[in-house]
Amino acid sequence: MKQRMWDLDPGSISIGSVLDGFGLENASAAVSLDEQGPDSLYLRLSGQGLNNDLIEQIFQGVMNSKAPNVPLEIRLARELARLFKFETRIPHKTQFVAFFGALGSGKTTALAKLAASTRFSTGLRIGLISLAAEGSLKGVELKTFAPLLGFPLLELGVNEADPESIDRALACFSSLDLVLIDTPALDHDQFGVRRLIKYEFPEIESVYVMAAHKGLKKSVRRSFSDERVVITGLDRSARIGEVLNQIHAGSNPLAFFSTGRRVPHDLEPANAQRLAKILLRTLH
């Protein structure tokens, strides 16, 4: 019953698939990077804010490749596929998926993009549940977005997010293929919705939304173990190193990249080829 929006295997990368992923204009960029030499690659990784250990792992893996004649950018993508996990299946572990993120992370907008994109590409029957605090959202609000595309929406006030109410909400949507759940911003979660879902509802998958320009507080980071991550704001942030340091340290799979605010556009599956291109962007 579970269909897939995207089902990529970033661990098995061929030269052809990488060039296809980048497009012709990016194939020439790979040649350009080789003309600049390995020092340029090292400097770009450092300029992204990656920590020294991760830079060394990436750089040594690229330079010690068994295919030295392959362009550096393609070798970089292969090394990223080895060092990072990528998991883009929708639905993945369960039909219920809760989105968590700090204030301003783009959590609700990312949820709306995923709902719309999945509907258009797979035809899955999707429902939305909002546990977010009234008036706390910036950007897309689910109560405005849901009727436009005909998504059923259940709204629970954040102070109503108790086990019984959440149970009833899940039961209402149990016949649907996918249910996406919006939650209060983690730094404003005074009612403990994150803890409630983590310990009382194992059937709900948690996805963490991280803005590219900032990492997580230690207190928040400790509560996330193997959750998939969506990185947002890639259109506004030149550097992505801090969030990649944390994702690599926690072995969190990367799920999607958000590159703008358009719904349902500006959301793409995370893969090693795209991550390589992001890391090699010219910084301004």
**Using one digit for the tens of pLDDT, what is the confidence trace for 119-135?**
988 889 999 999 875 54
Q: Per-residue pLDDT tens for 39-56? A: 889 999 999 999 999 999
Residue with tokens 């509907």: 119
pTM over 0.85: no
Distance CA 267, CA 261 (A): 9
Predicted local distance difference test score (pLDDT) of residue 23: 35
SS3 percent helix, strand, coil of the chain, rounded to 5, is: 45, 15, 40
Which pairing describes strands 254-258 and 267-269: parallel, antiparallel, or unpaired?
antiparallel
Distances (CA, A) of 64 to 15, 40, 56: 17, 16, 12
Q: State yes or no: pLDDT of 13 exceeds 50.
A: no
The terminus-to-terminus CA distance of the chain in angstroms comes to 46
Is the pLDDT score of 174 beyond 90? Answer: yes
Give the relative orientation of helices 72-83 and 272-279 as an angle to the nearest 10 degrees. 120
Residues in the chain: 284
Cis peptide before 91 (omega within 30 of 0): yes
